[in-house]
Amino acid sequence: MNGSRLNVAALRRAVPLRMWGGKGSGLPCDFCRVTVGPDDVEYEVEAQLDGGTVMLRFHYRCHYAWTGGEEPRAAEDPRIAADRA
Ligand SMILES: [Zn+2]
């Protein structure tokens, strides 16, 4: 599983465990396959999938879509967290 791109079905099965937000690392988003640039907010998600653990990377908007379009909580938005720091 490590190193291989996940298909949409696998992404849907993945259960998020932990999440970090930060600047884009220049690596492709696991949702839209487009590079997350340094000017983008990147979400890194540790997720459980088929008995293993995978690391996923998303744009802010792609993470939002992946989670089903739920309104993100303020504490999970790195831009808001940065304002509070
Ligand atoms: Zn994306």
Residue-level pLDDT at 7: 87
Measured in Å, residue 58 CA sits from the centre of ligand 1 at: 5
Cα Rg, the chain, nearest whole Å: 13
Q: Which CATH architecture has domain 8-84?
A: 2-Layer Sandwich (3.30)
pTM higher than 0.75, yes or no?
no
Question: Domain extents for the chain?
Answer: 8-84
Measured in Å, residue 60 CA sits from the centre of ligand 1 at: 7
Low-confidence ranges of the chain (pLDDT < 50): 1-3, 85
Q: How far is CA 78 from CA 14, 27, 43, 51, 54, in A?
A: 22, 19, 9, 29, 21
